[in-house]
Amino acid sequence: VAISALYLGWRGGMARRIECKDLRVGDLVKVMCGQELPCDLFLVSSSDPEGIAYIETANLDGETDLKVRSCMAEIVARVGRTSGERPPSVPFTLQVEPPSNRIYTFQGSIVVDYEEIPVTSNNFLQQACYLRNTDWVWGMAVYTGHQTKVNLNRCRPGSKWAKV
């Protein structure tokens, strides 16, 4: 993702255009079909009435088959059908594991109406993937910048030595 790419964000109760490099943990971010995910996101809502989103993970694993991700049923039930103009106004608290390089795991919990519910990788959208076959999603930034799973997996090039 280009660090200067603009995304619609929701911060402080207001919509604003935010550059990828300026996204912060806790920001609500809208991603449109065909856009690359700017950071690691917890899926909050989707244009799909069932809360489904499709992502292409070719940049992560080389696979071109679309992966299905879904919003938490507890949020979908409270939100109902939305236009996507603004993020859903469902108060919740999200707790997630510390940043790690484990690409295929995501653990945490969400508290909605005093009920704690586990979240999994099925509710997680990773940076460097593309949103496909879904008009839009709203997600909450959980890992940004150098703390995304993709960035934590980047290997530093080793030193090269030559015998002369």
* Structural domains of the chain, ranges and CATH numbers in brackets: 6-152 (2.70.150.10)
Per-residue pLDDT, averaged over 111-119, amounts to 90
According to the model, what pLDDT value does residue 75 have?
A: 81
Helix (H) or strand (E) holding 151: helix 149-152
DSSP code per residue over 56-103: E-HHHHS--SEEEEE--HHHHHHH-S--SSS------EEEEPPP-S-T
Q: Amino acid identity of 77?
A: A
Per-residue pLDDT, averaged over 46-70, amounts to 93
Residue 145 token pair: 């910048």
- The SS3 call for residue 123 is helix
What percentage of residues in the chain have a pLDDT greater than 70?
A: 90
According to the model, what pLDDT value does residue 77 have?
A: 76
How many whole angstroms separate alpha carbon 17 and alpha carbon 9?
6
For residue 160, pLDDT over 70 is answered with no
According to the model, what pLDDT value does residue 159 have?
A: 63
Q: pTM higher than 0.85 for the full model? A: yes
Instruction: Count the residues in the chain.
Output: 164
Q: What is the pLDDT of residues 73-101, one digit of tens each?
A: 888 777 666 767 777 777 888 999 999 99
How many whole angstroms separate alpha carbon 122 and alpha carbon 70?
6
- The SS3 call for residue 51 is coil
According to the model, what pLDDT value does residue 1 have?
A: 65
Mean pLDDT of the chain: 88
According to the model, what pLDDT value does residue 78 have?
A: 76
According to the model, what pLDDT value does residue 128 have?
A: 93
According to the model, what pLDDT value does residue 85 have?
A: 75
According to the model, what pLDDT value does residue 154 have?
A: 79
Residue in 147, 142, 138, 144 with CA at minimum distance from that of residue 93: 142
